[in-house]
Structure 1
């Protein structure tokens, strides 16, 4: 779903924040913390998180399906650029079937306010929704995903001596495992296998 060239922590006291002012009018918060969907590709959540290792910083930009928490697509890179977010969104939209037009919810980061992101949303019929400024619970679906990822992959493992390429490869492998193999207690199987059992994906 991603390659290293596309725009791609030990723990940091200062959390990454993509907010850089009001670049364009913010859409309404249509989700209002109701991160539930009755079917796939109805409600997506997007965000960017930062990791720090000895060689530098790495950024992950995923889109999470609120139906079951599946990471639909992601991009990984060394700069939190608009290209990082846009690439991920294009990849996610490529998975949509005819008639599927999700609400895409995000925080107020600049990546989600710039023309490229807005054009992708318009082209694919996505409805934009945004959190209130500086209110992380308003994007709890993405924040919860990051919490599990960092607990399982980052905080409990020593990546400090990894090269950037090694870390990206390890993160990529974790995300594939999370989607395809990690057991979700609610289902007793992985997210992918649950969707396959319901006939929702091949």
Structure 2
């Protein structure tokens, strides 16, 4: 008999709210009043991407766990990815103008969100996460450092979408400052943990 995996309550709530927002976007399009993204409308293709991305983020951690050499707590990763996606769904409703294709920070912001959501819970491996001697030396340092990295990337992802739309001329400088800042913070934290633990 296989072990059943319990879905955390927060994941249920986040999943229901996200599903309701996606259903709202689809119903608006079906009624001929699609969501406005500034001077553009949310297209059918955009809705397919939105729905497909959400479903992928819910299934990807489970698939990764099935294929991983060392099983890990994939429900925690699913929870963090779903929570990050809910943040984007709320932003689509609150500031839809940020999600126009002309936004230079949109693609990088979404990439940061996905990488950050995975980093929070990823087990030690040879491909993903902050892979330096300090983190490889201790499972606790690995978890803390990658957890910090993931959360910083997730927060930065939202700001990248906003800055990419509001100040597109400053976005290249902003992106370099954010990336360097996150790397410096994470490496300093890893070094500090290495010295104290």
- TM-score, normalised via structure 2 length: 0.31
Of structures 1 and 2, the one scoring higher in RCO (CA 8 A, sep 6+) is: 1
- TM-score, normalised via structure 1 length: 0.31
The structure richer in helix per residue is 2
